[in-house]
Amino acid sequence: SQQGEEDPQALSIQEGENATMNCSYKTSINNLQWYRQNSGRGLVHLILIRSNEREKHSGRLRVTLDTSKKSSSLLITASRAADTASYFCATVWGGSNYKLTFGKGTLLTVNP
């Protein structure tokens, strides 16, 4: 399966700290995306990084991609209680531009 695997499964930090989540995948990808899901809600797209990019920033988010290790990391700086959510990586791979394959997610809890 191409499914990505996030690590850790759960992460608990204090407000103001940085949170780092990792994602590993198995085969070559076209791009990798990160999504957030608040409890009981749908997923929201955060950031996309293409296979030829190594790092990307969006506000307090920083994503890195290492295609040689088939891994990505999502860093949230200066976390807030409102960042409490599950975070999923998803890959677009192979010949289909239409399908995303999601990992199982990291549950981030930011304590005030």
Partner 1 sequence: NAGVTQTPKFQVLKTGQSMTLQCAQDMNHNSMYWYRQDPGMGLRLIYYSASEGTTDKGEVPNGYNVSRLNKREFSLRLESAAPSQTSVYFCASSEVRKTVSYNEQFFGPGTRLTVL
| CB nearer partner 1, residue 14 or residue 57 | 57
Residues 6+ apart with CB under 8 A from 10: 106, 107, 108, 109
Residues 6+ apart with CB under 8 A from 86: 36, 37, 39, 105, 106, 107, 108
Q: Is 48 in the site for partner 1 (CB under 8 A)?
A: yes
Near partner 1 by CB under 8 A: residue from 12, 28, 58, 97: 97
Near partner 1 by CB under 8 A: residue from 22, 30, 67, 109: 30
Q: By CB under 8 A, how many residues form the interface with partner 1?
A: 22
